[in-house]
C-alpha cells in the first residue's frame, strides 16, 4: 500500500491538492473523503472540480445528497462527476434484522446511486463525502482521502488540558493533515509521490 500523509497549510493548498488528484483520476474511479465537520472536504472537492474543468460552483451536496457535474479529464475526454454527501443517509427506519450498512445501501439504491458506486461509467468519477460505512461494500477499488484538522492548543500549557484531548477546541483555521490510502488494484499503481505533481 502506498499510503501517504501530507500537511496542507491553507484552504488554497487544499484546493490545489484536490486539483492535482483530479489530474490523476480516470473514468470509473471512486474517491472517499472523510474527516470531521469543517475539516476541508468541500474545499478539497472545489479543487477537484477545478481540476476537472468544471465551471459550476462545487458546494456541499448535503441537502441534495448528490450533485452531478460535467467537465473534462486531463486528457481532454469528457468527465462526469457524481459528488455524493452521505452525511444525512442512514436514518433510523430499519427493516427487521437490518443493520446500518444495509439501511444505507437501501437508501443509495432508492436514490439510484448504488450502481454509480458499484460500477461507475467509463467517464464517471464518484467523489463521496461521509461514506465510510458503505464504501467498502460498494467500491472495492477506491482512493480514501482522510482529512484531519488541527485542534486549538489554547490552554495546552495547562497540565490538566491534554493537547488534542476533549478540552481543546476544533478550529477552522490552521493546517490539515491529509492521508491518502489507495485501495484495490487500480490504485496500487497510484504513487502519490510521482502522480501528484
- Position 170 confidence tier, pLDDT thresholds 50, 70, 90: very low
* Highest-confidence segment of 97-101, 114-118, 153-157, 184-188: 184-188
What's the confidence (pLDDT) of residue 66? Answer: 77
Query: Of how many residues is the chain composed?
Result: 197
In this predicted structure, what is the pLDDT of residue 21? 95
**Which tops the pLDDT comparison, 79 or 110?**
79
pLDDT at 165: 44
**Confidence band, pLDDT 50/70/90 cuts, at residue 187:** confident
What pLDDT, in 10s, does the model give residues 32-63?
A: 999 988 899 989 999 999 999 998 888 876 56
- What is the architecture of the domain spanning 4-154+173-188? 3-Layer(aba) Sandwich (3.40)
Q: Note the pLDDT tens digit of each residue in 84-126.
A: 877 666 555 544 555 655 666 666 666 666 666 666 778 999 8
| pLDDT at residue 152 greater than cutoff 70 | no
3-state secondary structure the chain: CCCEEEEECCHHHHHHHHHHHHHHCCCCCEEEEECCCCCCHHHHHHHHHHHCCCCCCCCCCCCCCEEEEEEECCCCCEEEEEEEECCCCCCCCCCCCCCHHHHHHHHHHHHCCHHHHHCCCCCEEEEEECCHHHHHHHCCCEEEEEEEECEECCCCCCCCCCCCCCCCEECCCCCEEEEEEEECHHHHCCCHHHHCC
Amino acid at each position: 500500500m502506498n499510503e501517504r500523509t501530507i500537511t496542507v497549510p491553507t484552504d488554497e493548498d487544499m484546493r490545489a491538492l484536490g486539483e492535482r488528484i483530479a489530474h490523476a483520476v480516470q473514468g470509473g474511479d471512486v474517491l472517499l473523503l472523510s474527516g470531521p465537520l469543517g475539516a476541508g472536504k468541500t474545499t478539497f472537492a472545489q479543487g477537484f472540480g477545478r481540476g476537472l474543468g468544471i465551471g459550476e460552483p462545487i458546494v456541499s451536496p448535503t441537502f441534495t445528497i448528490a450533485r452531478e457535474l460535467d467537465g473534462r479529464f486531463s486528457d481532454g475526454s469528457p468527465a462526469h462527476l457524481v459528488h455524493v454527501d452521505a452525511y444525512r443517509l442512514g436514518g433510523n427506519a430499519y427493516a427487521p434484522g437490518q443493520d446500518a450498512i444495509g439501511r444505507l445501501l437501501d437508501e443509495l439504491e432508492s436514490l439510484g446511486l448504488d450502481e454509480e458506486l458499484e460500477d461507475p461509467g467509463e467517464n464517471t468519477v464518484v467523489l463521496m463525502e461521509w461514506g465510510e460505512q458503505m464504501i467498502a461494500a460498494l467500491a472495492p477499488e477506491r482512493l480514501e482521502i482522510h482529512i484531519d484538522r488541527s485542534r486549538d492548543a489554547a490552554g495546552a500549557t495547562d497540565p490538566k488540558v491534554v493537547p488534542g484531548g476533549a478540552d481543546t477546541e476544533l478550529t477552522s483555521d490552521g493546517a490539515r493533515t491529509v492521508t491518502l490510502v489507495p485501495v484495490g488494484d487500480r490504485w496500487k499503481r497510484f504513487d502519490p509521490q510521482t502522480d501528484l505533481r
